[in-house]
Amino acid sequence: MNDVIQDEIIEQFDGLEWFDKYGLLISFAKELKPMSDEFKTEENSISGCQSKVWIRSYIEDGKLIFDLDSDAMITKGIIALVAKVVNNRYPEEILNADLYFIDKIGLKSNLSPARSNGLESIITRIKEVAEKEANSSS
């Protein structure tokens, strides 16, 4: 996986205090296209998150596209970053991805335990979808 996107994210957060990092997360949240209400179903929801999070995926030209949304701005900012890294990738790329930007920008160490668990649940779901798609195309 090309890690240019992760490196760009790390650079944007570099040197910021956590108050400013939260502000940056909120700006990413505002950039994330809202999910249509028709897709905000129980099937698309992520359990284990403190706030409501929905994820749906589809294949376009053999690559996975994830549509993510949340009812909380900080969470929405976090999933916007994850989407930037995993969207428009082949399932195998996502399965083998090391999402190192999460640790490098201090997300895991500065999130509440509930938000950190929620982030793990989101990443787990993304990897499960990628695995399912990789297995169905082989």
Residue numbers annotated as active site: 49
Render 45-76 in DSSP notation, one character per residue: B-TT-SS-EEEEEEEETTEEEEEEEESSHHHH
Tell me how far apart the alpha carbons of residues 130 and 137 are, in angstroms, rounded to a whole number. 11
Choose among 54, 38, 137: nearest CA to 91: 137
